[in-house]
Structure 1
Amino acid sequence: MGYKAVTKTLKFNTKKRLQFITITKEVEDFIRESGVINGSVVVQTHHTTFRVWVNEDEKNLIGHESLDYDHDLKRILDRFAHPDEEYKHNDVRDARNPKGTRDTHLCEPDKNGICHECVNGHAHAQALILSHSVTMIVKDGKLLKGSWQEIMVVELDHNRKRKVTILVQGTTE
């Protein structure tokens, strides 16, 4: 009986805070390409404020970009850690900014191309209640999931370049 473990990295350019991107098809396609018959798949983000979850892709739960729904998850996350609250993480005091306040949320690179601390304490706090990875079963060469289950990534910060790695492992015979 053969065993295989393969990875693939997906890249995203997110557009806004609380943007959900469904990646179930990409995961299912990679499982098929991998040749794994029975095993598992792990989906893991590379970032502290970009999360992955398995749930229903439903407009009132996660919103719908073109309809601009005020969705349940936004209300839940903002109740837990609202962007307008004060966070010590946002204290960006340094030699150039002795008062530690900044009125912008965006991280802009300096002359050396280095991005310094963002005003995003809420995104780090919200990340505490969502996961950085999910593991699911591969059975008979297919992702084992319920009727309404979808694998999604969610941006908790502002627009960013993001990565997610998929690991498929298991038997090939």
Structure 2
Amino acid sequence: MVKHYEFFVTTEDEYYTTYIGDTVKAFIEESGVQNGIVSVVTAHTNCGIIVTEPLDCILSDLNVLLHRLVDDDAEYSHAHFLPTYGRTSANAYGHLRSILVGNSTTLSLVNGKACMGEAQEIVFMEFDGPQARKVFVDIIGE
């Protein structure tokens, strides 16, 4: 059985994080799938999805790290005129941070529950907001 779901995250700032595990778990329950996998993917190239401990200090530290690794004001090729777009893009840092973080996670399902540790949560991360962002959840199994 395959079940597909979609939902939107409305981000509030250029760098924004929110916990989406409850939404994913509700879809798992609704799907009726007991054993298999769940895939969570953002449809955008300036966002990320991670699994980490749900502590705001971890997300704050990750923000600091990503800004150290990918400077907002660096001279990126992407910040110049892009013939394919017909314009200049000013969000290279968002793309690069998304590449570092990744835009998806996949979890095992056993007995209708996502296999996660007690101190784990699914986090959506925005790197070029505020925006309305689509997230896909695919649940595959029996």
Q: 2:115 aligns with which of 144, 151, 161?
A: 144
Corresponding residue for 2:79?
Answer: 90
CA–CA distance in structure 1, aligned partners of residues 52 and 103 of structure 2 = 14
- The one-letter amino acid paired with 2:25 is E
Q: TM-score, normalised by structure 2?
A: 0.92
Greater strand fraction, Structure 1 or Structure 2: 2
Whether the 8 Å contact between 2:47 and 2:124 is mirrored in structure 1 is: yes
Which consecutive unaligned segments of at least 5 residues does structure 2 have? none
C-alpha distance in structure 2 between counterparts of 1:49 and 1:88, whole Å: 16
Instruction: Give the 3 Å change call, closer, same or farther, for CA 117–51 of structure 1 in structure 2.
Output: farther
| Bigger helix share | 2
Greater Rg, structure 1 or structure 2?
1
Question: Under a length normalisation based on structure 1, what TM-score does the superposition of the two structures give?
Answer: 0.76
8 A contact 2:80–2:89 mirrored in 1: no
* Match in the other structure for 1:135: 106
Instruction: Count how many residue pairs are aligned between Structure 1 and Structure 2.
Output: 141
**What's the RMSD between the two structures over aligned residues?**
1.8
What amino acid maps onto 2:6 in structure 1?
T
State the shift of 1:89 in Å: 0.7
1:59 aligned partner: 56
> Which sections of structure 1, spanning at least 5 residues, go unmatched?
63-70, 95-115
Using the TM superposition, give the Cα deviation of residue 128 of structure 1 relative to its aligned residue in structure 2, in angstroms: 1.8
> Match for 2:72: what amino acid?
P
Within the candidate set 54, 60, 66, 1:77 is matched to 66
Shift in Å at residue 84 of structure 1? 1.8
Whole-angstrom CA distance in 2 between matches of 1:35 and 1:117 = 46
Structure 1 residues 90 and 31 mapped into 2: Cα distance closer, same or farther (>3 Å)?
same
Match for 1:37 among 28, 34, 37? Answer: 34
Q: The residue matched to 2:81 in structure 1 has which SS? A: coil
Cα deviation for residue 117 of structure 1 reads: 4.8
Q: Distance in 2 between matches of 1:164 and 1:134?
A: 11
3-state SS of the aligned residue for 2:100?
coil
Cα distance in structure 2, aligned partners of 1:131 and 1:117: 24
Is the partner of 1:126 in helix, strand or coil?
helix
Change (3 A) 1:93 1:36: closer
